[in-house]
């Protein structure tokens, strides 16, 4: 887990999600969550950074 990815996941959730998983369904879920409410998008992005292995 990169500290930079974690910081971006908190400040700009879609950017943190994109850097972790690329253009997948998780990015689009995060964008929708960000439009609805900011906090669920942060939780989702931090979860992605914490659980997904980039590769």
Report pLDDT digits (tens) over 17-33.
Answer: 898 888 999 999 999 99
User: Which residues, in sequence order, are CB contacts of 55 under 8 Å at separation 6+?
Assistant: none
- How many residues can be counted in the chain? 55
Query: Average of pLDDT values for 22-47?
Result: 92
For residue 5, the model assigns a pLDDT of 86
CB proximity list for 43: less than 8 A, separation 6 or greater: none
Q: Compute the mean pLDDT over every residue in the chain, rounded to the nearest whole number.
A: 88
Average pLDDT over residues 7-18: 91
CA 25 from chain centre, in angstroms, equals: 11
> How is residue 33 written in tokens?
């969550």
Q: How would residue 40 be classed by pLDDT, with cut points 50, 70 and 90? A: very high
pLDDT at 52: 76
């Amino acid at each position: 887990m990169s500290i930079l990815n974690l910081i971006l996941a908190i400040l700009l959730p879609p950017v943190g999600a994109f850097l972790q998983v690329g253009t997948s369904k998780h990015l689009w879920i995060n964008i929708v969550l960000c439009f609805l409410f900011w906090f669920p998008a942060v939780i989702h992005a931090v979860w992605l950074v914490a659980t997904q292995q980039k590769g």
